[in-house]
Amino acid sequence: MSIHPKNGFVPDESAAIKIGEATAIAQYGEKRISEEKPFRARLYGDTWIVKRTLHPQGAVGGTAVIKVSKHDGRILFMMHQQ
């Protein structure tokens, strides 16, 4: 019997950030991603978009962007902006 949580397997920002960071570290490395913290997540429909808040304004460099399914935690998209 499988379970289907009412609010999905990724119900909140904290869970989305943990999944996004872990995925980004696996792809881009611990050092690079640790320099991009803190990450934020916003829910758009059924998809969490996890990325760093760029600061200060006009800062040089990009950030990892990860889209995570709220329903099942699948990684739907990942890239690193320049």
Residue 38: what residue type? P
pLDDT by position in tens, the chain (length 82): 778 888 999 999 999 999 999 999 999 999 989 888 899 999 999 999 999 876 555 555 678 999 999 999 999 999 987 6
pLDDT given at position 63:
87
The domains of the chain are located at: 13-80
Q: Which residues face 43 on adjacent strands?
A: 48
DSSP designation for 77: E
From the number of C-beta atoms within 10 Å of its C-beta (0-12, 13-18, 19+), residue 9 rates as middle
pLDDT at 23 (0 to 100): 97
pTM score: 0.86
Residue 6, SS3 per DSSP:
coil
